[in-house]
Chains A and B, each alone.
Chain A
């Protein structure tokens, strides 16, 4: 599935501080089209900040990001258009509570891609069917469970037909019995060839679906490799220590 000839995201020496706290201290990375990359590491290590820098929810202090051949840092850029190429799924779902399920999905395509309402609705229904939310299309999100909300958030992101989807701890706020239904959707997406970056604490999942795993600690990528390399032949002591502490 991975197109090794096509570098989709190239990050060079990315740095970001919040006040005096240096959260990212020089991160470099290349993600190829169709690649599924898991990002693991302790809390506060900079994983989420790294993800948020990619779609410019955070503005990097230094470094370069090249997306699809176009440099996006260091000069004025049409941020809204750029962000449309990224889907983002948050830990807290962030579905829009004032809109019905279907309107959550059609809002951005209608407003920003100027899709006719009927077409947007048909596409949204199709997507909702895929994740088993078709019957809920006219409900408000408050009537959904956590797992359903997160599936809705995924569908909402997909409706913009992004080139990459960023998942920021998508199952961390879920009740345990709902984790699987969300991971299944992400797994399907991974197999469909979508480029995915996922910050996760679900090690078993990371191992199953990832092409590559990054271990971030103290604002740098301490170790990276295929799931086998990273989980079975861990090279750095820090990563070993971290993996020993988490449950699989």
Chain B
């Protein structure tokens, strides 16, 4: 087994590496844009504007209640038709992944914000801080500690979810497996290499998250 794996790696290593960069790219964009989208959504949802609140509830309800794969199909087939400019297949899929991640991140961040003691917001407002400053300078910096562990989990899900792009033959780790498998007809060893690469990415991410958490806890 090990020999087969080594042989495959020697010959097709570059396919896997390309796949890994593809996954890293998709995951990175998804994590960054998804977190940004989720933060925005949660801040609006915690504001006192009724209509946007309800719209976001609807959004989260739909995006969390349907499979990510279905959402990717939707973005793949539907969205490009109605856009005035061309969008690459990869961009469509990334948009779907971002939309999906945003819904989950919204929940994580909202829970983290609501877990900050109410007295903190009241103290800030009673000092005359505006609602915006209260959020950005008092609540969010404290909410980060509640948010980070759960957000780390979401990021790991996002890395793994990028594998859905393989259905559309976008270059990433699972596609790399498919490529190698169809060229060599060797399945299990080829699959194990992909698995190992995912583990590598998720382990590195977990370690980074741990590090960030520890830094934040320093002034507790």
Partners in one complex: yes
Binding site for B on A (CB under 8 A): 55, 57, 80-81, 83-84, 86-88, 90, 92, 94-98, 107-108, 111-112, 140, 142, 153, 156-157, 160
Instruction: List, in ascending order, chain A residues with CB within 8 A of B81's CB.
Output: none
Our pick among B117, B128, B142, B220 for the contact of A108 (Cβ within 8 Å) is: B128
Q: What is the CA–CA distance of A117 and B131 in the complex, to the nearest angstrom? A: 21
Our pick among A96, A142, A153, A157 for the contact of B220 (Cβ within 8 Å) is: A142
Establish whether residues A96 and B123, one from each chain, have CB atoms under 8 Å apart when the complex forms: yes
In this assembly, does B66 line the interface, its C-beta being within 8 Å of a C-beta of chain A?
no
CB distance from B131 to the nearest CB of A (A): 8
Establish whether residues A94 and B123, one from each chain, have CB atoms under 8 Å apart when the complex forms: yes
Instruction: List, in ascending order, chain A residues with CB within 8 A of B120's CB.
Output: 94, 96
CB 8 Å contact bits of B161-204 with A (1 = contact, 0 = none): 00000000000000000000000000000000000000000000
Establish whether residues A83 and B128, one from each chain, have CB atoms under 8 Å apart when the complex forms: yes
Considering only CB atoms, which chain A residue lies closest to B120 in the complex? A94
Dominant SS among interface residues on chain B: helix
Establish whether residues A156 and B219, one from each chain, have CB atoms under 8 Å apart when the complex forms: no
Considering only CB atoms, which chain B residue lies closest to A100 in the complex? B219
Considering only CB atoms, which chain B residue lies closest to A55 in the complex? B126
CB distance from B106 to the nearest CB of A (A): 23
Q: What is the CA–CA distance of A156 and B138 in the complex, to the nearest angstrom? A: 14
Our pick among A92, A94, A112 for the contact of B128 (Cβ within 8 Å) is: A112
Instruction: List, in ascending order, chain B residues with CB within 8 A of A153's CB.
Output: 123
Report the 10 A-B pairs with minimum CB-CB distance, sorted nearest first: A84-B128, A94-B123, A88-B126, A108-B127, A94-B119, A140-B219, A83-B128, A98-B141, A112-B128, A80-B130
Q: What is the CA–CA distance of A95 and B141 in the complex, to the nearest angstrom? A: 14
